[in-house]
Amino acid sequence: MSIEALSKQFPDVPVPILIKTDAIRIGVDFTPRAQQAVAKVNTCFKGYGVFSMDRDRGPVTIEQHIPHIFCLSEDDAVVSTRTTPTSPYKIDYIDGKFSFCDETGPVMGVYFPPAPSWIDQKLDDGTPLQAIAQPSGFDKVFCTLNYYCEYWKRGEQCRFCDIVSFLKVKKREEHGVVTRPRPEQVVETLKVAFREPGYRHIILTGGTVLTHVDKQDEMRLYCDYLSRIRDEAFGGVWWSAYFQVGARPKADIERLHTTGIPALHHNMEVWDEGLWPIICPGKSRVVGREEWVRRMIDSAEVFGKGHILSNFVSGVEMSKPYGFKTVKEAVKSTLSGFDYLMAHGVLPRMDMWCVEEGSGLAGQPPAPLEYYIELEKGYLDLRLKHGYPFPFVGYCRGCTSVDALSEWDYYFVKLPEKKAREAVALKPVAVPVSADGEE
- Calculate the alpha carbon distances from 44 to 38, 247, 403 in Å: 10, 32, 19
The pLDDT of residue 431 is 53
Longest dimension (CA), the chain: 60
Question: What span, in angstroms and rounded, lies between the C-alpha atoms of 252 and 302?
Answer: 11
Give DSSP secondary structure letters for 166-225. Answer: HHHHHHHTT----SS--HHHHHHHHHHHTTSTT--EEEEEE---SS-BTTB-HHHHHHHH
Q: What pLDDT does residue 246 have?
A: 96
The CA distance from 404 to 418, in Å, is 14
Predicted pLDDT of residue 56: 78
426 Cβ contact partners less than 8 Å away, ≥ 6 residues apart: 139, 198, 200, 417
* Distance in angstroms (rounded) separating the CA atoms of residues 406 and 422: 15
Q: Are strands 133-136 and 140-146 parallel, antiparallel or unpaired?
A: antiparallel
- Cis, bond preceding 391 (omega within 30 deg of 0): yes
Contact 303, 263 (CB under 8 A): yes
Using one digit for the tens of pLDDT, what is the confidence trace for 213-263? Answer: 877 899 999 999 999 999 999 999 888 899 999 999 999 999 999 999 999
Q: Which residues are within 8 A (CB) of 96 and not within 5 positions of it... i.e. 6 or more apart?
A: none
Residues of the chain with pLDDT under 50: 415-418, 423-428, 434-439
As a residue count, the chain comes to 439
- The CATH architecture annotation of domain 129-432 reads Alpha-Beta Barrel (3.20)
Cα-Cα-Cα-Cα torsion 185, 190, 196, 201, nearest 10 degrees, comes to 150
Residue 282: how many other CB atoms lie within 10 Å: 22
Residue 36 CB: number of other CB atoms within 10 A?
12
Q: Are 316 and 363 in contact (CB under 8 A)?
A: no
- Identify the three-state secondary structure at position 98: strand
- Tens digit of each residue's pLDDT (9 = 90 or more) over 23-32: 999 999 999 9
Residue 19, SS3 per DSSP: helix
**Other CB atoms within 10 Å distance of the CB of residue 365:** 11
Output the pLDDT for position 430.
Answer: 55
Q: Are 401 and 137 in contact (CB under 8 A)?
A: yes
CB neighbourhood size of 399 (10 A):
26
What residues does each domain of the chain span? 3-111, 129-432
**What's the rounded Cα separation, in Å, for the pair 231 and 92?**
46
